[in-house]
Chain A
Amino acid sequence: MAEILAERYTGASIRRSEDPRILTGAGRYVDDIKLPGMLHAAFVRSPLAHARVLSVDASAARALPGVVAVFTGAELEAMTVPGPDALMALLSWTGPTPEFSLLATDKVRFAGDPVAVVVAESRYLAEDGCELVEVEYDELPPVTNASFALDPGSPPLFENLGDNIARPHSRNEFGDVAATFDSADRVTDVHIDVHRHQNVPMEGRGCVATYDADLGLMTVHAATQSVHVTKIAIAMRLGMEQDKVRVLAGDIGGSFGLKIGASREELAVAAASRAVGRPVKWVEDRSENLTASGQAREESFDVRAAVSDDGDLLGLDVKMVVDTGSYPAMGAMVPETVEAMFPGPYKLAAFGFESTAVTTNKACYVAYRGPWASETFVRERVLDLIARDLGLDPLEIRLRNAAPRTNPPAFMITGRPLVGVTTRESLQRLAQIVDFPSFRRRQADARARGRYLGVGVATFIEAAPGPRSPEGASGPLGTESMRLRLEEDGIVALFTGQMPHGQSHQTTLAQIAADEFGVPFEQVRVVVGDSDIVPFGLTGGSRSATMTGGVALHGARQLKAKVLEVASHLMEASAQDLLISDGQVLVRGDPASAIGLGEIARRAAVGDVGAGVDANLEVQASFDGGEGGWSGGTHCAIVDVDVETGLVRVERYVAVEDCGALINPAVVEGQIRGGIAQGIGAVLLERSAYDQDGNCQSATFMDYLLPTACDVPRIEIEHLETVPLDADVNFRGVGEGGMIVAPPTLVNAIEDALSPFGVRIYEQHLPPARVLELIAAAGPAQ
């Protein structure tokens, strides 16, 4: 009888195992946690961007029935350990390190800065209590933009820094920058701004903390991208040993980079819970999310490009300034990645990069889906500006400059090899999908009738996880670990430090392990969200497809070998003659010999295998990323710009992407479309806006506009699946690419639409009013 081989799950759009609970209201998000005796926290927040705190009077709030405690900044500081931002410490940041407490003590640094926390029997009562806390401020001049922050005379946000520099100016050069620019036919010189916008997951931040004073044990239910990073932050700030802190997480309502570790508020809630001896819940409201959770980007670039008359991009020289807002963390570190990624898939003879990061009186910088994405925006914008000057087609200039795929691969001038990068292939495939000559004819006809259509193209590469480097593992965060166990009921359990918040890991990792182990998909459980039982890990940086997919594959292989070894003793057959099929172990060619995996595990557990045999059906696997490699591709948008209203309609959007082998095509395409939708929002709608006094002007969903089902078109996706790089693991990540490349794709299309007016675009945010301004400033159509 032929072997019964299970159908392969990997590569198929298997329905998600997360969905039955999510579709019936049975998901368990942090706000769904309800513990006996649980209290609720709310924060008193600064109405001013920059001020000294003269006094905080909480007596009226404390007297309010239902209010259990109020902690001012000074009181909370006495209950916690001072120190740097936990994430910066974890990433070994050595630059300027501002000193600050969890709640403001001596001064407030942005409108929304938490000043006190009220703990009460209900959220309603906690908010009532906040109204009764009297805070006296002495206003300071607000530092609301980077150019003022760079002025040595600007009032420093952090006294211990002495100025507002969060990352001192530095410059690096690759190749001979001066000679390249001296000998170039032409030099393009532009200033490009990327505006402040933000993650806005549908579920904001939140946690429920509970402290067992007898055991000295802190348990925190968190919405986080990593239970371990949250645990480390809590242990640091609460002065506890890490093994006394347990972080649990269930379903998480999105994050996009916002929920890495623990925020100041979440740490304050944990401290408050310890102090009052009862569980405390805090879930931010949307206004807190928009004003105080964190914001992203706001970077400016001075760019010089050395170009030949034929359109060869020879060199780039870039000056970047990051406005990190208050309480700097990742914003001070992002220039390193921007620098490394800036050349993208293009050949460059020389590259100069300098950067500075400043603190301002705005919400703090947080990671947002492709935190370094501005390099792609600027580079792809500059390529189009050059192409327009030279009369070149946007496809042509990219094909001309993209490094060809060679063996060995070409290197980015900043150092990394372009392993598996298929930019040229994606451009060529796009040209087959979108009939550019036909579009140009339609565009000309439309213009003759006063309708302005435009086409935009942009390419990107995404280090997902990135190429193997001589120094270590692929990707930025080292190796990935996983514990795998055959349970006594035959379930194959995968314990991972990944903390999915929409990425479908409970489905995709089970697909891979089921195939490798030889069990039905339903027989694999992916266990996440408990720092006591899962290994260290973090969901972010587009790393999970390769790193966690890879460790699931290799771990399942190791566990299978161990199970077969044990089974060989139980079945008195050589392990080489055994196979696992459909959840059973059998002797090859003898279906009657089949024994269920559960029985193997039970018999191993009770010692049936005899002495001297390792019957522990558990493995600890790790994976370094194998050959790694890049994801990437080319996107194309066709837009229709109404020059009377300034409204931009996205008529067509095509994504040609290469992420190697697809684990679950529906999941991959969901990530791509979701990222593009965020890019559409970033360009056409979203802005975290401040007035000149530092008041946040986008504190509700009436002011911070998100794309709806009417703003995002049906997106066409074409997959290139390049030749395998690794013997086993050729899945690469796609989490960030859509958000990285959609903004330049759209802005390039809008500029193309407005080219009859001579409009040139040096910014990313193009709501209708701004489109009209650009048209008015450029003059009548030619």
Chain B
Amino acid sequence: MDITLRVNGTTRSGSPEARKTLADFLRDDLNLTGTHLGCEHGVCGACTVILDGRAVRSCLMLAVQAAGSEVTTIEGLATDAGLGPLQQAMWDSHSFQCGFCTPGFVMQATAFLSAHPDADEQEIREALSGNICRCTGYQSIIDGVLLAARRNTEHASER
């Protein structure tokens, strides 16, 4: 089935089988392998992408359902100047170890912070509680999101 969608600001077309998941379409057809598959049943959150402004599990969605949508993946967050602010804060916070869950956390946190820029630790923990990390015990990830939120607030108050 022919579909067209915007991915990371670029118009992309493809002809996925009707049963192909959005995750497989991104990874196989568009070579965007930054999106990872951790469970393929919607629990671990590693495959999270932002679709029309909302964080969604790309393993639970068919590619054809994303036709006409605006999709952002982990590959779409860095800027010409380098890492995006959340990515930078996570680097500074030693947020991750093996990195496999990383794209899901980064996309989930990106969507959450854009809606809740002043979130506190407990709100961030709850917002990220649908993403599983097996390496870190979460504290470093939470610290990275808190740091990004704080920098964002400080930056806003300087303007």
A interface with B by C-beta (< 8 Å) = 13, 15-16, 18-20, 22-29, 31-32, 34, 124, 200-203, 251-254, 256, 285-286, 501-504, 666-667, 670, 673-674, 676-678, 700-702, 706, 708-710, 712, 714-715
Contact = CB atoms under 8 A, between A and B. Distances in A.
Given A25-B73, A253-B100, 18 more contacts: A13-B94, A16-B91, A19-B99, A24-B77, A32-B27, A202-B38, A202-B100, A202-B132, A251-B99, A251-B100, A253-B101, A254-B98, A674-B137, A677-B136, A700-B41, A701-B39, A708-B130, A715-B139
B142 A709 contact: yes
Contact of A201 (B35, B126, B134, B138): B134
B55 interface: no
A673 B139 contact: yes
3 nearest A-B pairs in the assembled complex, by CB-CB distance: A25-B34, A253-B100, A673-B137
Nearest to A29: B100
A138 B124 CA distance: 53
Nearest to A22: B99
Nearest to A23: B87
A35 to B, nearest CB: 13
Contacts of A706: 132, 134
Contacts of A13: 94
B35 A202 contact: no
A718 to B, nearest CB: 15
Contacts of A16: 91, 94
Given A24-B78, A286-B38, A708-B132, A677 B43 contact: no
A674 B135 CA distance: 5
Contact of A200 (B77, B134, B139): B134
A24 B135 contact: no
Given A18-B99, A32-B33, A24 B142 contact: no
Interface in B113-158: 124-126, 128-142
B132 A670 contact: no
Given A202-B133, A674-B137, A709-B129, A666 B99 contact: no
Nearest to B132: A706
B45 to A, nearest CB: 10
A364 B146 CA distance: 41
Nearest to A286: B39
Interface in B69-123: 73-75, 77-78, 83, 87, 90-92, 94, 96-103, 106
Contact of B38 (A203, A252, A714, A715): A203
Nearest to B17: A124
Interface in B27-55: 27-28, 31-41, 43-44, 46
B100 A15 contact: no
B159 interface: no
Contact of B98 (A28, A31, A202, A673): A202
19 contacts: A25-B32, A31-B33, A31-B36, A124-B17, A201-B98, A201-B134, A202-B98, A202-B101, A252-B98, A256-B134, A286-B38, A286-B41, A504-B97, A676-B137, A701-B39, A701-B43, A708-B131, A709-B124, A710-B125
A667 B133 CA distance: 16
Contacts of B40: 285-286
A698 to B, nearest CB: 13
A674 B139 CA distance: 9
A8 B98 CA distance: 26
A202 B40 CA distance: 11
Contacts of B134: 200-202, 254, 256, 674, 678, 706
A207 to B, nearest CB: 16
Contacts of A252: 98
A222 to B, nearest CB: 15
A26 B34 contact: yes
B106 A712 contact: no
B97 A709 contact: no
B82 to A, nearest CB: 8
Contact of A714 (B99, B135, B139): B139
Nearest to B37: A31
Contacts of B94: 13, 15-16, 666-667, 670
Given A201-B98, A203-B100, A25 B125 contact: no
Please indicate which of the listed interface residues A20, A23, A31 has the most CB atoms of chain B within 10 Å of its own CB: A23
Interface in B15-33: 17, 19-20, 27-28, 31-33
Given A25-B32, A202-B132, A677 B38 contact: no
Given A23-B90, A25-B32, A124-B19, A712 B39 contact: no
Given A31-B37, A504-B97, A701 B138 contact: no
A125 to B, nearest CB: 10
Nearest to A199: B134
Contact of A710 (B92, B126, B140): B126
Please indicate which of the listed interface residues B39, B129, B130, B132 has the most CB atoms of chain A within 10 Å of its own CB: B39
A583 to B, nearest CB: 23
Contacts of B78: 24
Please indicate which of the listed interface residues A22, A34, A673 has the most CB atoms of chain B within 10 Å of its own CB: A22
Given A15-B94, A203-B38, A253-B36, A677 B137 contact: yes
B88 to A, nearest CB: 8
B120 to A, nearest CB: 13
Given A31-B37, A202-B46, A712-B139, A24 B128 contact: no
Given A13-B94, A708-B130, A25 B103 contact: yes
Contacts of B141: 709
B74 to A, nearest CB: 4
Contacts of B27: 31-32
B8 to A, nearest CB: 10
B117 to A, nearest CB: 19
B44 A23 contact: no
Contact of A15 (B73, B92, B101, B130): B92
B62 to A, nearest CB: 12
Contacts of B17: 124
Contacts of A27: 34, 99, 102
Given A201-B100, A202-B132, A709-B125, A23 B83 contact: yes
Nearest to A708: B129
A709 B128 contact: yes
A256 B33 CA distance: 24
Given A32-B33, A674-B135, A700-B43, A25 B74 contact: yes
Contact of A701 (B44, B74, B99, B136): B44
A251 B142 CA distance: 23
Interface in B59-75: 73-75
B96 A22 contact: yes
A545 to B, nearest CB: 15
A18 B141 CA distance: 16
A284 to B, nearest CB: 11
Contacts of B77: 24
Contacts of A253: 36, 98-101
Please indicate which of the listed interface residues B77, B83, B130, B137 has the most CB atoms of chain A within 10 Å of its own CB: B137
B97 to A, nearest CB: 4
A260 to B, nearest CB: 16
Given A23-B102, A254-B134, A709-B142, A670 B91 contact: no
Contacts of A20: 83, 91
B66 to A, nearest CB: 18
Given A15-B92, A31-B37, A202-B44, A24 B74 contact: yes
B34 A502 contact: no
A635 B73 CA distance: 40
A251 B96 CA distance: 13
Contacts of A22: 96, 99, 102
A454 to B, nearest CB: 21
A25 B35 contact: yes
B99 to A, nearest CB: 3
Contacts of B137: 670, 673-674, 676-677, 712, 715
Nearest to B46: A202
A25 B48 CA distance: 12
Please indicate which of the listed interface residues B27, B31, B102 has the most CB atoms of chain A within 10 Å of its own CB: B102
